[in-house]
């Protein structure tokens, strides 16, 4: 029952037109214009085809693939946005409206609610497998590929209409220590012990040291494994809160999350792994104290999934405001960078079968979030030399301190926001920076004075700030705030850019308690047999604050461990049953 191949980048619905010549319309997508061609008359939309777009693979591309067909099928523009791809969904619908207007057709003709669909009587279905994985984000896909490599028959359930989860939003890189890529770059001072201590210090010593040690000790092997599935991360830089260069990213500087999800998805497809989208797991099945499967459903089926091992990889709860505010009421009005499916489902399912949780109150703000769209501005921007200034045009903190420290400093500035400043040289070496410009997040100027005017800050103060920073880079020492990373290049190459940012909810450090084998631990302190967890659904790795780049290392390292451990457990269970 194969339900997923790798999600295609371009998709459209073609139906033989019976109306006049098609007309085109344009909407603003997440990464440029989305252009559609529409064939319609006053009463009927016959076809909608996306003919130009540059939307994110696995996110916006899902809306491109599915939404045109829904508009035609329902003969309405008022179709539901694709969860997780709202901006692209809205762009398609706006483009359809414009195309209709170009044809002299009133879009209001198609702005009617479609008739309610009859409730489908669900069919009960039972599926047997060795390992069932709940969640198709970074941890779930990594675990699925690894378990399959170990010989297990794997089934993955994903409640969203796309693979990737929050991992798709990871824009920086993957922290690793002792890798061949560091050696090739002449980096010899970033060993495993330093990685451990930086992570513990960044997490305010609340982290589980055993988990941190496991992550660090397995990080080099993990990045080698990624290279073995055609997902190398050869570019190395620093990130906030670390003393050395650990951050590994794609050669072209493209966002690491999209890159890895695409590569993992391709490998899952090559291995024939069954991934069921739009399928929600609701309950862990237990027998004699061990996990033996899950209950799940989609729009037409109620599933009983019998498995010898269960892996929970459902992500965190950064989009579940009721749960977050139960720990921190001040977050009620914050924006979140999390995708809409990050609601803590796996955590609650695990708790229902006696699992312990840890650090649930530890919820991280990211300091550089574009508030209008909740889009994250990658920490890699600062790793490559960007700085932060306030409304007065001045720096106000170590721009590459830990995320909690920088977020707190921002909130103390006038208006509770800041600007991230970068130049053309940084844009030329980082594909993410160009994306921010493409979608209209940045203002620009050909001189520091022009940029200050575009930002609305004092030009004299801003020019002095930039000149002082460039001198600090030349001297290799930041006398003002003690920054010691991301100072390889100054900001002297015009044109110059600024993005207005403020803190936003980014990562929930707490979750299911696991041991170093990713086995879930009960409230009694015992292993729950057959139940594993990895990624942001777990707690303990990051403590009170996550270092940028560690989440990717977390999901790859512990995803690999979970896949191997669950496959081994399932093989043992099969032998016992024989």
Q: Which of 567, 578, 551, 496 is nearest to 219 (CA)?
A: 551
Query: CA–CA distance from 265 to each of 244, 377, 437 (Å)?
Result: 31, 25, 28
Q: In the block, which residue shows the tokens 């862990």?
A: 284
Residue 94 CB partners (closer than 8 Å, separation 6+): 25, 27, 28
Q: How far is CA 115 from the centre of its chain?
A: 35
CA distance 310 to 62: 28
CB 244 within 8 A of CB 192: no
CB 531 within 8 A of CB 519: yes
Active-site position among 403, 483, 546, 560:
403
* H or E element that contains 95: helix 86-102
Tokens found for residue 184: 């090739």
Q: Report residue 276: phi and psi, to 5°.
A: -100, 110
Tokens found for residue 129: 């497998």
Query: CA–CA distance from 141 to each of 162, 275, 377, 555 (Å)?
Result: 12, 9, 25, 9
CA distance 45 to 22: 11
CA distance 38 to 234: 43
* H or E element that contains 287: strand 280-287
Eight-class DSSP state of 168 = G
How many residues are recorded in the chain? 578
Does the annotation mark 395 as catalytic? no
Query: CA–CA distance from 67 to each of 18, 63, 78, 199 (Å)?
Result: 21, 5, 11, 42
How many CB atoms are closer than 10 A to CB 119? 7
Q: Which residues are catalytic?
A: 403
């Amino acid at each position: 029952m194969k339900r997923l191949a790798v999600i295609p980048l371009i998709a459209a619905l073609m139906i033989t037109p019976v109306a006049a010549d098609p007309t085109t319309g344009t909407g603003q997508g997440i990464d440029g214009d989305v252009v559609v061609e529409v064939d319609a008359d006053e009463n009927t939309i016959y076809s909608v085809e996306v003919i130009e777009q540059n939307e994110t693979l696995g996110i916006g591309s899902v809306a491109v693939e599915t939404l045109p067909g829904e508009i035609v099928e329902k003969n309405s523009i008022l179709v539901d946005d694709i969860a997780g791809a709202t901006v692209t969904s809205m762009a398609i619908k706006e483009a359809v409206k414009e195309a209709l207007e170009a044809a002299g057709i009133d879009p209001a003709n198609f702005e009617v609610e479609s008739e309610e669909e009859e409730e489908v009587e669900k069919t009960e279905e039972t599926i047997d497998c060795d390992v069932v994985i709940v969640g198709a984000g970074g941890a779930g896909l990594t675990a699925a590929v690894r378990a399959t490599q170990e010989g297990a028959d794997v089934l993955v359930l994903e409640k969203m209409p796309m693979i990737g989860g929050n991992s798709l939003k990871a824009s920086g890189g993957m922290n690793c220590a002792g890798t061949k890529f560091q050696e090739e770059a002449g980096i010899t001072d970033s060993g495993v012990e330093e990685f451990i201590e930086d992570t513990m210090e960044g997490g305010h010593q609340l982290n589980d040291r055993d988990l941190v040690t496991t992550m660090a000790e397995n990080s080099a092997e993990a990045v080698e494994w990624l290279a073995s599935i055609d997902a190398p991360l050869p570019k190395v830089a620093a990130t906030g809160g670390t003393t050395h260069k650990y951050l590994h990213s794609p050669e072209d500087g493209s966002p690491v999350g999209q890159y890895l999800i695409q590569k993992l998805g391709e490998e899952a497809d090559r291995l024939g792994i069954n991934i069921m989208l739009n399928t929600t797991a609701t309950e862990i099945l237990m027998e004699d104290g061990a996990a033996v499967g899950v209950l799940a459903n989609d729009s037409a089926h109620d599933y009983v999934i019998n498995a010898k091992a269960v892996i929970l990889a459902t992500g965190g709860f950064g989009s579940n405001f009721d749960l977050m505010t139960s720990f921190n009421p001040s977050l009620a009005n914050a924006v979140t960078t999390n995708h809409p499916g990050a609601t803590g489902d796996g955590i609650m399912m695990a708790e229902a079968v006696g699992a312990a949780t840890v650090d649930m109150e530890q919820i991280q703000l990211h300091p550089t979030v574009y508030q209008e769209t909740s889009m994250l501005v990658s920490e890699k921007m600062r790793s490559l030399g960007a700085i932060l200034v306030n409304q007065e045009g001045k720096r106000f903190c170590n721009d590459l301190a830990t995320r909690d420290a920088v977020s707190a400093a921002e909130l103390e500035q006038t208006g509770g926001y800041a600007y991230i400043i970068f130049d053309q040289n940084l844009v030329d070496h980082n594909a993410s920076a160009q994306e921010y410009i493409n979608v209209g997040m940045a203002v620009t100027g050909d001189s520091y004075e022009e940029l200050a005017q575009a930002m609305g800050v004092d030009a004299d103060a801003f020019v002095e700030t930039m000149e002082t920073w460039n001198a600090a880079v030349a001297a290799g020492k930041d006398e003002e705030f003690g920054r010691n990373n991301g100072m390889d290049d100054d900001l002297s190459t015009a044109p110059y850019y600024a993005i207005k940012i403020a803190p936003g909810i980014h990562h929930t450090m707490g979750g299911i308690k696991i041991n170093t084998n990713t086995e879930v631990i009960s409230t009694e302190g015992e292993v729950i047999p057959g139940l594993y967890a990895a990624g942001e659904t777990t707690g303990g790795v990051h403590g009170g604050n996550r270092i940028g780049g560690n989440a990717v290392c977390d999901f790859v390292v512990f995803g690999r461990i979970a896949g191997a451990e669950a496959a081994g457990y399932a093989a043992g269970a099969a032998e016992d049953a024989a």
